[in-house]
Amino acid sequence: MLDIIRLLLLTAHLFGMAAVVGTFFVQMRHRSGFSTNLVLGGAIVQVATGIALVGARYASDLEVNHVKIAVKIGIGGAVLVAAVLAARAQRGQGRVKPLFHTAGGLATVNVLVAALWQ
Ligand code: HEM
């Protein structure tokens, strides 16, 4: 049962990643009209499911790499802050592009951390 919960959380985690990184790749060369709400939603899902995944791994007695998780929380938190600021800048006519690139670029770094650091 716990395994099914962990795998469903991992599925949601990967959909969240797709929302942030996919939107970034499609719109990175745009000058305006960024889908900041999609990136923000994905970033919230990433941090929430990421923390839940750590709990699920503990509950299943699976190995948890604490340094890797600390790095992922740090980068994931920065992605979330950049996504919140990007969404706010878009509503208030601020400069969206640098914040959009910060969120998308850092999320891409977190994919590399997730996949290459085993
Ligand atoms: C933008 C932020 C993030 C991205 C792009 C991302 C990406 C990924 C990817 C691609 C995987 C699958 C590869 C693997 O299993 O190693 C993964 C797994 C995982 N992530 Fe993240 N992640 C993010 C944030 C976080 C955060 C904030 C946490 C923890 C607080 C976290 C915890 C985990 C855990 C525990 C797994 C392994 C799941 C399992 O196999 O049981 N992630 N992440």
Question: How far, in Å, is the centroid of ligand 1 from the Cα of 83?
Answer: 18
Q: What is the pLDDT of residues 18-49, one digit of tens each?
A: 999 999 999 999 999 999 999 999 999 999 99
Q: What is the pLDDT of residues 1-22, one digit of tens each?
A: 899 999 999 999 999 999 999 9
Q: What is the pLDDT of residues 58-100, one digit of tens each?
A: 999 999 999 999 999 999 999 999 999 999 999 998 999 999 9
Domain locations along the chain: 2-116
- CA pair distance 35, 46, nearest whole angstrom: 17
Question: How far, in Å, is the centroid of ligand 1 from the Cα of 106?
Answer: 13
Looking at residue 93, its pLDDT comes to 85
Looking at residue 19, its pLDDT comes to 98
Residue 30 phi/psi, 5-degree rounding, is -70, 160
Question: How far, in Å, is the centroid of ligand 1 from the Cα of 72?
Answer: 7
pTM of model > 0.85: yes
Q: Which residue bears the tokens 């929430």?
A: 48
**Which of 13, 15, 62 most suits a substitution to test ligand 1, by most atoms within 8 Å of the C-beta?**
13
Looking at residue 9, its pLDDT comes to 98
Cβ atoms of 17 and 107 closer than 8 Å: yes
- CA pair distance 76, 65, nearest whole angstrom: 16
**Residue located nearest, by CA, to atom 9 of ligand 1:** 114
Mean residue pLDDT of the chain comes to 97
